[in-house]
Structure 1
Amino acid sequence: MTWHVAEEDLRAYAHGELAPPLLWSADTHLTACAECRARLAHSADPVVLDAGWERLDAELDAPRPSLTERLLVRLGVADHTARLLTATPILRRSWLLSVLFLLVMTVLAGRVADTPALFLALAPLLPLAGVALSYGPALDPTYEMAVVAPLHGFRLLMIRTVAVLTAGLALNGLATLALPGYGLMALAWLLPALALTATALALSARLGPVLAPALVGGAWLTLLVVAHERARTADSTLAPFTAAGQSAAAAVVVLAALLLYQVRDRFDTRPLGGFPGDGTA
């Protein structure tokens, strides 16, 4: 140690009279300095000393923020919001690596088959799956913390959704760069991805965070099967990835966003996963 707590500050600390920021500095220093702890033990009132040790124990036991969380706080994000963002279940290394691996395999399959159809069909489902896994008592280990957070339920849902979409769309975007030969066609997954996610969120207010995305994903797969049969017969592009299909997806995004806004208060009465049929009250 190159410095120690001044005697008058240590005396004030011992009597519980030291105010921040000197109090915080003393707490931090005492966690690492045995000499100052020994001086404090000889001069402190036992009751005040116990309170000080409790503060130190709480400081030592507090979870250390991750690099991402510290970066978000430095960028101006509130600390509790940063904690909720970085605690989003699907933003784990294992999930992200699995998604990246799946996208790589899909891109390779598309190159071998000389068609981006498989990638375009799969890419919209990944953000949808991420949103489905980002909240709810059955899937989110931080559910209790999220529910008691000092945030409007709808805002909390949007915070989690933005985090999931940012990660999912970024990975999808990187995969798109591996298909430069298809031009704008390689980006035809974007509007369907937003449409599926927005629709699932809007329906979650009534159907729950698992059933709603599952139904939306099933509807998407059904649509692709029907579109594939028609495209094979007419030797044309799958309908969802044509200009008309993209326009329809954009309209669905707008309508689903409006519906989500209309039902936003339901996420307070049944917060983030406390929906009918999920086993919670």
Structure 2
Amino acid sequence: MTWHVSEEDLRAYARGELAPPVLWSADAHVTACARCRAALAEAADPVALDAGWERLDAELDAPRPGPSERLLVRIGVPDHIARLLAATPVLRGSWLGAVAAVLIMTVCVSNAVRTSDTPTLFLALAPLLPLAGVALSYGPALDPTYEMAVVAPLDGFRLLMIRTVAVLAVALGLNGLATLALPGYGLRALAWLLPALALTSTGLALAPRLGPVQAPSLVGGAWITLLLVARVAGAGGEGALVPFTALGQAVAAAVAVLAAGLLVAGRDRFDRLQGGAV
């Protein structure tokens, strides 16, 4: 070996004061150089040296934040919340790409097959996407980071609400962009919004009793059944399905408000749900 760690750097290394990247070079060199290890042993306080190794191990083992986590921290989101949001499965590229593809195909079909004054296929599908996103964002069955979320310094209800708001913001934003691609329908293309809020809030309110996956699944099945019944009942008539009429929108708004109230009233149950899942 033609290069050795200087005596001054060895003393700083022993005191735990040597900063990267010199620290990394010295660490790699000392591991392979008997001469420098002997010099380090003479200059080092064993307690300080052990503390230095512990600090090095902690720094090497510390998780490296990704681009989304760094962006969240930069805009003021606390570190632990940014990490929980960045680890949410449905906020990753694969899920967002799948949602975008489904919306694009639905918009294309709605524009190509104009059987009525209402884009029924789009309005039927759009409320299910936020509900599915919330179902996939929390729970031991589908969230690979669930154990980390459970030990986060947050109660179960607040953690669920943080992820729900993030998922809703993304899903509703994508739905809103898709709505802009249906200019021929005017405000009728926004009839998905209130059903989406009603389905999501109902799924969340039922989660403590039925589970974070079963509850949204049941609510989504009920929505599909409702649409099929409305389609059969109105097969001989014209116009939009009942859920997308003024009466249907009023009912959706009432359901959303009622479910939100029940959700807040039963917020303590989410801690039991979280503990039971662990």
Same fold (TM over 0.5): yes
Pairwise mapping of residues 187-266 of structure 1 onto structure 2 (< 5 A)? Answer: 187-266=190-269
Seen in structure 2, the aligned counterparts of structure 1 residues 72 and 230 have a Cα distance that, compared at 3 Å, is same
Moved more, 39-48 or 91-100: 39-48
**Cα displacement (A) at 1:31:** 4.1
Moved more, 29-38 or 225-234: 29-38
Seen in structure 2, the aligned counterparts of structure 1 residues 132 and 45 have a Cα distance that, compared at 3 Å, is same
Indicate the residue corresponding to 1:49 in structure 2. 49
Q: Deviations over 1:2-24 (max 9, x none)?
A: xxxxx6x98576346xxxxxx6x
**Larger Rg computed on CA atoms:** 2
Indicate the residue corresponding to 1:95 in structure 2. 95
**Cα displacement (A) at 1:200:** 0.2
Answering whether residue 120 of structure 2 is matched by residue 117 of structure 1, we say yes
Seen in structure 2, the aligned counterparts of structure 1 residues 31 and 241 have a Cα distance that, compared at 3 Å, is farther
AA of the residue aligned to 1:219: A
Q: Deviations over 1:247-275 (max 9, x none)?
A: 11111111001000011001112217x4x
AA of the residue aligned to 1:76: G
Seen in structure 2, the aligned counterparts of structure 1 residues 10 and 78 have a Cα distance that, compared at 3 Å, is farther
Instruction: Work out the number of aligned pairs and report it.
Output: 263
Find the aligned partners of 1:35 and 1:119 in 2 and give their Cα distance: 60
> TM-score of the superposition, structure 2-length normalised?
0.86
Answering whether residue 66 of structure 2 is matched by residue 63 of structure 1, we say no
CA contact (8 A) 2:198 2:252 kept: yes
Moved more, 90-99 or 120-129: 90-99
Seen in structure 2, the aligned counterparts of structure 1 residues 208 and 180 have a Cα distance that, compared at 3 Å, is same
Seen in structure 2, the aligned counterparts of structure 1 residues 229 and 150 have a Cα distance that, compared at 3 Å, is same
Answering whether residue 167 of structure 2 is matched by residue 128 of structure 1, we say no
**Cα displacement (A) at 1:144:** 0.7
**Cα displacement (A) at 1:53:** 2.2
Secondary structure of 1:270's aligned partner: helix
**Cα displacement (A) at 1:78:** 1.0
Find the aligned partners of 1:229 and 1:36 in 2 and give their Cα distance: 73
> TM-score of the superposition, structure 1-length normalised?
0.85
- Identity rate of aligned residues, in percent? 69
**Cα displacement (A) at 1:67:** 1.1
**Cα displacement (A) at 1:50:** 2.9
**Cα displacement (A) at 1:197:** 0.3
Find the aligned partners of 1:44 and 1:196 in 2 and give their Cα distance: 65
Find the aligned partners of 2:123 and 2:180 in 1 and give their Cα distance: 13
AA of the residue aligned to 1:103: L
Indicate the residue corresponding to 1:20 in structure 2. none
Q: Deviations over 1:217-243 (max 9, x none)?
A: 011011111222233322121111111
Find the aligned partners of 1:71 and 1:31 in 2 and give their Cα distance: 29
AA of the residue aligned to 1:182: Y
Indicate the residue corresponding to 2:166 in structure 1. 163
Indicate the residue corresponding to 2:78 in structure 1. 78
Seen in structure 2, the aligned counterparts of structure 1 residues 182 and 105 have a Cα distance that, compared at 3 Å, is same
**Cα displacement (A) at 1:80:** 0.5
RMSD of Structure 2 on Structure 1 (CA): 2.6
AA of the residue aligned to 2:53: W
Find the aligned partners of 1:31 and 1:119 in 2 and give their Cα distance: 58
Structure 1 regions of 5+ residues with no counterpart?
A: 1-6, 17-22, 275-279
**Cα displacement (A) at 1:72:** 1.1
AA of the residue aligned to 2:56: L
Find the aligned partners of 2:10 and 2:177 in 1 and give their Cα distance: 56
